[in-house]
Each structure stands twice: as structure tokens, then as C-alpha cells.
Structure 1
Amino acid sequence: MKRTQTSSPAAERGDTTRHKLLLAAIEVFGRLGYDGATTRALAVAAGVNLQAIPYHFGGKEGLYQAVVAHIADHIAARMGPLRLRLAARFAAEAHGQPIIADEARVLLVDLLRTLAEFLIRPEMESWARVVIREQMEPSPAFDYLFRVGMEPQFAAARLLVGRVAGLDPANEWVGVRTFGLIGGVLMFRTAHGAVLRGMGWETMGPEQIALIRRLVEELVAGLPAAGEATR
């Protein structure tokens, strides 16, 4: 029986070149920013021909948008199992199985721990530079980054904070407290250098992660219960 060839060698080489450009561009854009990253620097970092950028991405802007989308998609995939579990629990609540405060705290700890452990991974350093730049000066790519990579975590956390506090998740205090909680986790990546220097750590290994996991528990435990929150 004749063997079916699913992709040609040329197509496979094209996929490899595209992937190399994406990975290299994350580092270059994160280090130099969009304006500082030249197409030549991007091509050299990827070890590809300069014409590969317009061929695969239409130019530098297309490559940058692909980089941001790649980061957002990877965050979504990494957080996917937890997102699905939370979505199933929220759906059950909509059908008459309410989430009480104690359960909401447990789910919130799980969400924040998962997020923290993902962000602290060494390979996230270059990704974080791109994300932080997008936070400071949002580009047209920010909408996708927020909608796909960030908003689902924020929305789930806000709903859970609301359940703990006995308030509508749309309440402003709930939103501010939610961003405060998430910010307490994000800073271990966004302020990575300051944390290492201030704590006298050389790196964030298992012992440091254990302390951060404990911090998450304490942050969630400190959330005011129903009737105690500022309305």
C-alpha cells in the first residue's frame, strides 16, 4: 500500500523557520521592545534569512503580533485544565449548587497557586518582558493577550472573591481586591530582580515556591468574609 505523505519537506522546513523566529522574537522583543528590535536583529537571533520575516509574517509588525498571540495561547493552554474545572463548577452553581465562601477560598487558592507556579518558571522571564511592555504601552495586540491569556483568570478570581465576600462580582471593591490578590502573585515575576535582591535569594527554587504557596493561602485567608467587606 502506498504511504500517504502528510507534509512536504519544504513545508516542514517552513514550519521550523516560523517556530525559530517566534522563539527568538520573544527574547528580542522582550529585551529591546518593538521599536528597538530591528528585522536584522530578529533574523540573526533566529538564525534565519532576513526575508523569512516578511515571507512568514508579512513583516515585523506581523511577527510581533504572532509573538503576543503565541504567549497568550500558551498561557491559555497551561491554565486550561484549571479553567475547565472552574467553568464546570460555575455551571453547576448556575444549576442550583451554590459556591459557599469556604469552597470559594479553596478554589481561589488553587487558581492563584497555579498562576504563581506557572509564572515563576525560568522560561517565563523573556515572555514576561513582552507582557509587561504590553501592560505599560498596549499595542493592537494587547486585546488578544488580555482576552485569551488574562481575562479568564481575572474573571474566575473575581467571581470567587465575590463569593467569599458575599458581594456581586461586578462590585468595584471586589474588582480592586481581585487585582490586588493577583498582583501579589504577579510581582514575583514582574519584580523578579527586586525580590531576589531583597530576599537574598539566588533563584526561586522549591523552597522559595513553598513560601509563595504559603503566602497565597494567607492572602486568601485574609479576604473579608460576607458582611465585613467595604461596599
Structure 2
Amino acid sequence: MSEISDISPAAANAERRGDATRQKLLAGGIDVFGRYGFDGASTRMLASAAGVNLQAIPYYFGGKEGLYLAVADHIGETIAGRVGAGAQPARERVEALKAGGAPLEAEEARALLLPMLLGAAELFTNPDSAAWARFMIREQMEPTEAFHRIYTRVMQPMLGIARVLVGVLLDAPADSEAVKLRAMSLVGSVLILRIAQATVMTELGWSDYGPDQMEIVRAMVRDQVMALGREREPATGRSKDE
């Protein structure tokens, strides 16, 4: 007997419409919650920004709080997905190291750290990240469950990988406070491009992150990674690798 789908065309269309409505509410929620915060955002504002019926919020998300947490999950998944390609080789190598694989050498650690940070720089200079940044800044200032979801999905894994690589380059334990702070400062130097964009643009006299500006950003990231761990080397005029 041939297998017959249990989903009728009408049900499939309804499911597609439901998915589209959820996506509209997530996009509207990112913008409205980012601008006004949880308390300042009304369900009417959220529905209007999404262009949907007011009852769609409780129907799809159970209410405003459910939508707020769904927005946090959506931001986390989006950032993780976009940064993932650059971070995947580093993630796999760190997992292998923890499982007893070959020790990491300094130049391999640099080669793994650089694309991860370059990928994050590309992401956070993209105009799409402006709305996420507003939401994330609010959660940094007054953290809620939404902060913990984004942290667990994005920052914790990224910093965990960066700590191992930075620890190799500094020849220090990955769980030491010094290494954790250095890893955070590296990631923070990328995040600041979006979170402090007004200062970056004013200080540098830029109007946006165009091709020329991105070359300077990439060079900055490369310089930071290449200098890591070499600050205390003797000034012999020759590099460590020569």
C-alpha cells in the first residue's frame, strides 16, 4: 500500500501562513523590544510592527513574555548560525583537544582564532545586526531570562573556544581570570563595532562600514590575533618563528 500524506493542501497552506506570521512577529519583536524594552513595548505596538492581528501574539507565543523569549532564542540562533562557519574548525579542534587529541601549537591556535573573529566582525558590521544589538544591550544592562538564553546559545560557546585558543597563545590556563578577560576583550573589540557604532563612526570620520572601512577592520582583527602572546617576547628584531 502506498503511503498517503496526512497533511491536506489546506492544512499545509495554513502551516505556511502560521510560519510567516511567527516570522513577522519575531522581526517586529526584535525591533520594538530593542527600542522600548519589555515594559515599554505593548502588545498593540508589537502586532502593529508585525502587521498582524493582536490575537496572533497569544495564539503563537502565549503572550508578550513568550514572544520576548522567542525573540531572544531567534537572535541567538541567527548569530550562532552566521558565525558558525568561521568557528566550526576551531570548535572541532578544541573538542578533539579536550578528548585527548594532539596538543595545540601557537600558530595553529592563531590560525583557528582568526577566522572566528573575522566572521564575527563581518556579522556585527552588517546592518542586520543593529536591531539585535539594541535588544542585547538592554539585556546586558538589566539581564533577564532572555540574556541567559542568548549567552548560553552564543557567547558561552564562543568564549569557551576563544579561551582555549587564547590560553595556548598566552601559555596560561584557559580557565584563569587573565585568559577569560583577554578572550572577552578580543570578542568585545568586535562587538564594539556595532554596540558603540556612533562612537566608532564619529571617531574615525566614517559614515558606514563600506569595503574600505572593512579592510581596516579586518586588519585590526588580524593585528590583534597576531600580537597575542608575543607582547612579552624579547625585542631581538626577529620574530619567534624565525
Equivalent position to 2:83, from 79, 92, 114: 79
- The 5 Å alignment of 1:1-231 reads 4=5, 5=7, 7-93=11-97, 94-225=99-230
User: Is 2:25–2:47's contact at 8 Å kept on the other side of the alignment?
Assistant: yes
Aligned with 2:212: secondary structure? helix
User: Is 2:94–2:164's contact at 8 Å kept on the other side of the alignment?
Assistant: no
Structure 1 window deviating more from structure 2 (88-97 vs 103-112): it is 88-97
The CA distance in 2 between the partners of 1:26 and 1:183, in whole Å, is 22
User: Is 1:26–1:67's contact at 8 Å kept on the other side of the alignment?
Assistant: yes
Aligned with 1:170: secondary structure? coil
The CA distance in 2 between the partners of 1:225 and 1:96, in whole Å, is 25
The CA distance in 1 between the partners of 2:158 and 2:3, in whole Å, is 48
User: Is 1:112–1:216's contact at 8 Å kept on the other side of the alignment?
Assistant: yes
Q: Which amino acid aligns with 1:133?
A: R
User: Is 2:121–2:190's contact at 8 Å kept on the other side of the alignment?
Assistant: yes
Q: Which amino acid aligns with 1:9?
A: N
Structure 1 window deviating more from structure 2 (210-219 vs 1-10): it is 1-10
Question: By how many angstroms is 1:38 displaced?
Answer: 0.7
Alpha-carbon spacing, 1:15–1:91, altered in 2? closer, same or farther (3 Å): closer
Question: By how many angstroms is 1:218 displaced?
Answer: 1.3
TM-score of the superposition, structure 2-length normalised?
0.88
Q: Which structure 2 segments of 5+ residues have no match?
A: 234-242
Q: Which structure 1 segments of 5+ residues have no match?
A: none
User: Is 1:164–1:226's contact at 8 Å kept on the other side of the alignment?
Assistant: no
The CA distance in 2 between the partners of 1:13 and 1:105, in whole Å, is 46
C-alpha RMSD of the superposition: 1.9
Aligned with 1:188: secondary structure? helix
The CA distance in 2 between the partners of 1:215 and 1:226, in whole Å, is 16
Structure 1 window deviating more from structure 2 (136-145 vs 157-166): it is 136-145
The CA distance in 1 between the partners of 2:86 and 2:173, in whole Å, is 23
Question: By how many angstroms is 1:225 displaced?
Answer: 4.2
The CA distance in 1 between the partners of 2:227 and 2:12, in whole Å, is 58
User: Is 1:166–1:225's contact at 8 Å kept on the other side of the alignment?
Assistant: no
Residue 237 of structure 2 corresponds to none
Structure 1 window deviating more from structure 2 (88-97 vs 16-25): it is 88-97
Residue 238 of structure 2 corresponds to none
User: Is 1:30–1:126's contact at 8 Å kept on the other side of the alignment?
Assistant: yes
- Equivalent residues, number: 228
Name which structure has the greater RCO, CA cutoff 8 Å, separation 6+: 1
